[in-house]
């Protein structure tokens, strides 16, 4: 098991289970300290490669993931890996898409879907999850049969 994130570091969200996930905006420089072991980049077009394991999920700014099934599978993986790895979720600004993904991770971690956006706004960033359709996405994310 590797060293996980410092829970007091900027952008680090502690889920109710204790899992730590770092959210960030890719427009800002990489924070000092350890780098992610695994990252998911939520962008409209394919990003440049990084030195650690990463995946790209096509997710245009202010919108929803292009492939909802791929998003579900990838967020399941992020949640599982966050139990013992430094996992990062990032978009350009670090609020809308990143906040939406973090709220979905909170749902996976046991937060009720109707409380997940509030949880992320309280513990990650008050401006997380920027659009009404992103909020609806989180609500529906809890319905695994959809």
Residues 134-143: tens digit of each pLDDT: 999 999 997 7
Complete DSSP assignment for 19-79: -EEEEEETTSPPPSSPPPSEEEEEESSPPPP-SSEEEEEE--TTS--S-HHHHHHHHHHHH
Average pLDDT, the chain: 94
Q: What is the DSSP letter of 85?
A: S
> Looking at the predicted structure, is the pLDDT value of residue 145 above 50?
no
Residue range 76-104: mean pLDDT, rounded = 98
pLDDT of 146 > 60? The answer is no
CA distance to 48, 71, 103, per residue, from 137 (Å):
27, 11, 10
Domain locations in the chain?
12-141
Give the model's pLDDT for residue 144: 59
pTM for this prediction: 0.95
Percent of the chain with pLDDT over 70: 97
Residue 101: pLDDT above 70? yes
The domain made up of 12-141 is a member of CATH 3.90.190.10: yes
Q: Mapping DSSP to helix (H, G, I), strand (E, B) and coil, where does residue 134 land?
A: helix
For residue 60, pLDDT beyond 60: yes
């Amino acid at each position: 098991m590797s060293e996980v994130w410092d829970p007091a570091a900027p952008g680090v969200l502690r889920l109710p289970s204790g899992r730590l996930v770092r959210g960030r905006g890719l427009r800002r420089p990489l924070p000092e300290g350890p780098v992610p072991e695994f990252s998911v980049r939520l962008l409209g077009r394919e990003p440049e490669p990084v030195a650690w394991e990463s995946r790209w999920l096509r997710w245009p700014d202010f919108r929803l993931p292009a492939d909802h099934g791929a998003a579900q599978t990838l967020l399941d993986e992020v949640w599982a890996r966050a139990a013992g790895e430094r996992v990062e979720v990032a978009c350009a600004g670090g609020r809308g898409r990143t906040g939406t993904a973090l709220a979905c991770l909170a749902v996976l971690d046991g937060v009720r879907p109707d409380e997940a956006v509030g949880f992320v706004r309280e513990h990650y960033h008050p401006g997380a999850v920027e659009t009404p359709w992103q909020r609806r996405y989180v609500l529906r994310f809890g319905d695994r049969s959809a």
